Structure 1
Amino acid sequence: MNPQDLRKIADWLIDGARSVVDPPLMVAEICERLVRAGLPLWRVGIFVRTLHPDILGLNFIWKPGEEVVAGTADFDLLDSPRFQHSPLAIVFGEAREVRHRIDDPESRRFPFLDEMRAEGVTDYIALPLLSTDGTVHATSWTTKEPGGFSDEQLNGLRSLMPPLARLVEVTNHRRKASILLDTYVGNRAGERILGGQIRRGHTETMHAAIWLSDLRGFTALSDRLPAETVVDILNLYFDCQVPAIRNHGGEVLKFMGDGLLAVFPIAEADGDIRRVCSQVLEAARESRASVDAMNYPVGEAVERFRFGVALHVGKILYGNIGGGNRLDFTCIGPAVNLAARLEKIAGRLSRTIVASEGFAGICDGGWSDLGEFPIAGFSKAERVYGLADEAPAG
């Protein structure tokens, strides 16, 4: 390998690899620069641990002349025989390199290296990427060169691991920040926070359809079941709603015990309000069907569940609200208050889906007029609508 070319690659990594931003393209650029510098690479893998409730890590696989294949691994991987009997298990577990020439009999204890042998690979090395916080990421490098990697080539690769580790760490921190904000405050709110909207009082007015739901009989349920069981039930219950909300363009802003607050932003474009409200109603119907099908075994009995959701549309104030150094990115306003009151009326009427007059007038869902009701805190009564195809739940 040309030492000057290697130095240029290291400098490029230290500078943040700013010529490429997308991680798969970044991996491709790293490998292609190394090949041009004289490193005869065949298959390269970069494996990054991340902080995500469902995803253990990300992987990027490069081969010459092919696009980088990006994938994810879930937490079940750690218990799989394929991982436990792989060189990467040693790298992640002990933070040390694993190197085997493929003709080394010792390499046969790793089934993955049998696969590489079948591809004509002659040499393999897996190297750790050590983050400043102690997290271990990993890389693997193979060649088909007769005789394998030279000592000079291996030392060149080793010398690039510290700058590559810093680049992976910075890139991963950005990704983790985005994932955590998306997980805990929602995608739109997360984008605003990362974009600098972090000061108390930073708010904006949004036109949106509002969703407010809760689980019927939750207080009694919590009183007679173990806390761990209640948590399991809540998770199952929210799984009946969140995918439907997100798949139809909504964003969950808050879980409040058994309550859920979501918004569906409405653009100013003509016709968008009718489309959005139709999507909200479809999400409500899907959630209703999912909750209807939900059950939970408790001893010899099986719990069955009902929920209610109120739908409204109006202007909300969306942004940072709080006290001291503790802020919440949420929405407030009379429209949100009305949705909360409607949800209580849904419970009194034993209805699953109810809507305000404003929402029902926009969305043609086959509504039935349930009557006019006084609303606490509002100067006038509100007419409430339920779905005509839905009988009150007993």
Structure 2
Amino acid sequence: MTRIPEKQRHSIADWILSEGRKLADAKQFFDGLNDAFRRAGVPVERALFSLFVIHPQTAATGFEWRADRATVEIMRGRSITTSDAYLRSPIKRIHDGVDLLHAPLKGPRASREFPFFDELRAEGFTDYAAFAIPFGNGQRNVLTLTTRRPRGFTKAQIALVQGVLPLVAMVFEIHWGRRIAEAVLDTYVGRLASGRILAGSISRGQGERIDAVIWFADLRGFTALSDLRPTADVIAALNQFFDALGGAIESHGGQILKFMGDGLLAIFPVEDAAFRHHACRQALEAALAAHAAVAEINAERAAANAPMLRFNVALHVGVVVYGNIGSATRLDFTCIGPAVNLTVRIEGIAAKLAVPVVMSAAFATVVRESRATVVSLGKHSVKGLMAPPEVFTLAELAPAPALVSTPPRTEAA
């Protein structure tokens, strides 16, 4: 039996229980853990922590730590589980039930079992150890340690690491429980709502006033598409549509609040008065980028003889009430208020005029500062609003004057 150095084991365990468990995130904990290993005499120079996650696009995530560089977070797509690199890796062996895989990389006993070991040898590493880190739900995660020490890890050092793994697993499981909750909530309710839910703002009626750009889009002709096409085709079309819009919104700093059938509501928060112009400009660029992305999709759909996707975007800037609304047993974070109502209503004007992007007067006032021309589409009576709102668009998107309710006026930047 290998004798575990009690003093070193206690030093690592004491650090985990006194300092490590209090660190803000898993990355900080992993940095500190490897420093604690080194202080206890474990000559680790490269370490990897890997675990499977619940996420629509990501199968595994983790960290790579090195003694001579900053720790990096690693994310693997869902295809990794069927890749040759994974199937022929020591990590796969741990996932399959092995608790410890200790493999010398240099010398007469050097392991040639996994192609990945050749990469480590090329970097001068001499020894490799992979450990199972099981969570309470049975999920098997992996910690790997690599060294350049000429004689590799001793049996006592391997035993030392094994002795503190239950504590390591406990801390990682706490961190990843929160990460999983964040990922699932981000996916299903959005970043803005997920942060509030995890912070405890879950009482019905809680809300706050937010200055924001409201971004509303609606797919035209969806009812006909639903009636005429198979359900699978309709779902695929909606996913294509929302992928295009979601990518444009998020890449320009917006946050999707909800999908409403064939519509989408998003906001671009205005952090302060100085940021107002930037938020409006980003929202407008997102609308144009969304139309460009859908145009590319339509080119592919045309080649497949599939119906085109047509939509309009309405933009407004104002104050919304963002809060927790619903029944006693089913709540939803959403935006309400006159600003949201106006945005939804003017989208209907865009559909009537066949204009891809329309803006409220408040939004147009801000963006005209950075665009060549903003054109009025006149005032239009809409249901739910006492005063007919005036709507605007970019000059290059304006329809023929005959379609506009009142004579258009052009406002130069």
- TM, length-normalised to structure 2: 0.87
The number of residues matched between the two structures is 393
Alignment of 1:349 with 2:356, yes or no, is: no
Q: Tell me how far apart the structure 2 counterparts of residues 36 and 254 of structure 1 sit (CA, whole Å).
A: 49
Deviations 1:163-196 (A, max 9, x none): 1111111111122222222222222222222222
Deviations 1:331-386 (A, max 9, x none): 01122112111112211211111122222233214232223222212222222223
Matches within 5 A, 1:277-356: 277-295=280-298, 296-297=300-301, 301-356=305-360
Alignment of 1:227 with 2:231, yes or no, is: yes
Cα distance, 1:277 vs structure 2 = 1.8
Q: Is the 8 A contact 1:6 1:34 kept in 2?
A: no
Q: Tell me how far apart the structure 2 counterparts of residues 328 and 252 of structure 1 sit (CA, whole Å).
A: 14
Matched position secondary structure for 1:215: strand
2:381 corresponds to which of 367, 374, 384: 374
Point out the more displaced range, 281-290 or 329-338.
281-290
* 1:298–1:106 distance in 2 versus 1, CA, 3 Å: farther
Q: Is the 8 A contact 2:21 2:171 kept in 1?
A: no
Cα distance, 1:19 vs structure 2 = 6.0
2:60 corresponds to which of 57, 60, 72: 57
Partner residue in 2 for 1:255:
259
Alignment of 1:216 with 2:223, yes or no, is: no
Partner residue in 2 for 1:25:
28
Cα distance, 1:89 vs structure 2 = 0.7
Q: Tell me how far apart the structure 2 counterparts of residues 233 and 381 of structure 1 sit (CA, whole Å).
A: 34
Q: Is the 8 A contact 1:86 1:112 kept in 2?
A: yes
Q: Is the 8 A contact 1:291 1:307 kept in 2?
A: no
Q: Tell me how far apart the structure 2 counterparts of residues 116 and 249 of structure 1 sit (CA, whole Å).
A: 39
Alignment of 1:123 with 2:127, yes or no, is: yes
**Aligned amino acid, residue 113 of structure 2:** R
**Aligned amino acid, residue 382 of structure 2:** I
Partner residue in 2 for 1:242:
246
Q: Tell me how far apart the structure 1 counterparts of residues 277 and 63 of structure 2 sit (CA, whole Å).
A: 42
* 1:160–1:276 distance in 2 versus 1, CA, 3 Å: same
* 1:303–1:204 distance in 2 versus 1, CA, 3 Å: same
Point out the more displaced range, 283-292 or 167-176.
283-292
Q: Tell me how far apart the structure 1 counterparts of residues 163 and 333 of structure 2 sit (CA, whole Å).
A: 44
Alignment of 1:387 with 2:359, yes or no, is: no
Partner residue in 2 for 1:35:
38
Deviations 1:248-296 (A, max 9, x none): 3321100111100011222342x43333222221211221222222224
**Aligned amino acid, residue 39 of structure 1:** V
**Aligned amino acid, residue 258 of structure 1:** D
Cα distance, 1:391 vs structure 2 = 4.8
Q: Is the 8 A contact 1:341 1:375 kept in 2?
A: yes
Q: Is the 8 A contact 1:14 1:167 kept in 2?
A: no
Q: Tell me how far apart the structure 2 counterparts of residues 45 and 2 of structure 1 sit (CA, whole Å).
A: 24
Q: Tell me how far apart the structure 2 counterparts of residues 327 and 265 of structure 1 sit (CA, whole Å).
A: 22
Q: Tell me how far apart the structure 1 counterparts of residues 186 and 27 of structure 2 sit (CA, whole Å).
A: 22
Cα distance, 1:137 vs structure 2 = 1.0
1:108 corresponds to which of 112, 115, 122: 112
Q: Is the 8 A contact 2:11 2:40 kept in 1?
A: no
Partner residue in 2 for 1:138:
142
Q: Is the 8 A contact 2:15 2:36 kept in 1?
A: no
Alignment of 1:179 with 2:186, yes or no, is: no
Point out the more displaced range, 28-37 or 383-392.
383-392
Deviations 1:109-129 (A, max 9, x none): 211122333444343221111
Matches within 5 A, 1:60-99: 60-94=63-97, 96-99=99-102
Q: Tell me how far apart the structure 1 counterparts of residues 326 and 32 of structure 2 sit (CA, whole Å).
A: 45
Point out the more displaced range, 115-124 or 223-232.
115-124
Point out the more displaced range, 218-227 or 99-108.
99-108
Q: Which runs of 5+ in 2 are unaligned?
A: 404-413
Q: Which runs of 5+ in 1 are unaligned?
A: none
**Aligned amino acid, residue 243 of structure 2:** D
Deviations 1:51-93 (A, max 9, x none): 2222222232233333323322111211221111011011123
Matched position secondary structure for 1:56: strand
Point out the more displaced range, 298-307 or 280-289.
298-307
Q: Tell me how far apart the structure 2 counterparts of residues 84 and 230 of structure 1 sit (CA, whole Å).
A: 36
**Aligned amino acid, residue 178 of structure 1:** E
Partner residue in 1 for 2:206:
202
What RMSD, in angstroms, separates the aligned Cα atoms of the two structures? 2.4
Point out the more displaced range, 45-54 or 297-306.
297-306
Matched position secondary structure for 2:70: coil
Q: Is the 8 A contact 1:292 1:306 kept in 2?
A: no
- TM, length-normalised to structure 1: 0.91
Q: Is the 8 A contact 1:210 1:263 kept in 2?
A: yes
Q: Is the 8 A contact 1:99 1:124 kept in 2?
A: yes
Alignment of 1:154 with 2:154, yes or no, is: no
Q: Is the 8 A contact 1:95 1:130 kept in 2?
A: no
Cα distance, 1:330 vs structure 2 = 0.7
Point out the more displaced range, 62-71 or 128-137.
62-71
**Aligned amino acid, residue 219 of structure 1:** T
